[in-house]
Amino acid sequence: MTPLVSTRVTVLLAVCLFTPFGLRTLSTRLEPYPAVLLPAGASRVRLNQSEVSFSRTTLTCRGRDGNWQPLDVTRLLSPIPPWYLHDIVSNEFGLKSTPYEGVSLQWVSKVITLPRHTPSDEEVQATRRWLALRLAATPDCQPAIRIAVERTTVGVPSGQVAQHAVVYESIHELD
């Protein structure tokens, strides 16, 4: 391979690999697909000198006794792969009706407002029916779903949970 071809291939490879990284650095909502971003996978791990924070999305349904019980995400979303849960939940299963969404750029302190699809009444009703049918197939579930994002902070030296909090919660009554 000639030096000129080698240089071009290197530059092309650098552009292909650093473009997704650059977009992800600006905002976590701007990640193109497909992209290879390591080491935290599809999400970022918040780390300061003595603590690590993790976020987790949970889905629960209201049981016959009125208490919330965990849902099997793979079974609920089938045939949709469970790794799409974060994106589906961020849109509240398509039930979110805000016409615009803000994307915040890190290190710039600027928010860009982007238009988003606003579901029609028919689409919302179809989604509610689909979710209600999926919940009906789950034993002891009433037609109500709770979406929660929990953040857990763990002390690095000790490994003990320093803080656990629900940072987002949304409840949808489907009947």
Domain spans in the chain, listed from the N-terminal domain onward:
1-43, 45-173
Cross-strand bridge partners of residue 53:
46, 153
Of 65-69, 104-108, 165-169, give the lowest mean pLDDT range.
104-108
Is pTM beyond 0.85? Reply is no
Res 61: pLDDT: 93
Check if the beta carbon of residue 55 is closer than 8 Å to that of residue 167.
yes
Q: What is the pLDDT of residue 154?
A: 86
Given a cut of 90, whether residue 146 has pLDDT beyond it is yes
Residue 122 pLDDT > 60 = yes
Q: Which residues of 11-31 are buried (b: 16+ CB within 10 A; e: fewer)?
A: eeeeeeeeebeeebebbeeee
User: Higher confidence at residue 30 or residue 93?
Assistant: 93
To the nearest whole number, what is the mean pLDDT of the chain? 80
What is the pLDDT, as a whole number, of residue 47?
Answer: 67
Give the residue carrying structure tokens 């650098």.
Answer: 14
What the block records as the tokens of 99 is 């016409």
pLDDT at 105: 62
Pick the residue with more confidence: 40 or 4?
4
Q: What is the mean pLDDT of residues 10-21?
A: 81
Report the DSSP beta bridge partners of residue 115: 100
Q: What is the pLDDT of residue 31?
A: 60
Non-local (6+) Cβ contacts of 137 within 8 A are none
Query: Measured in whole angstroms, how far is the alpha carbon of residue 56 from the centre of its chain?
Result: 9
d(CA 106, CA 159): 29
Q: In angstroms, how far apart are the furthest CA atoms of the chain?
A: 73
> Tell me, what's the pLDDT at 112?
73
- pLDDT at residue 95 greater than cutoff 90: no
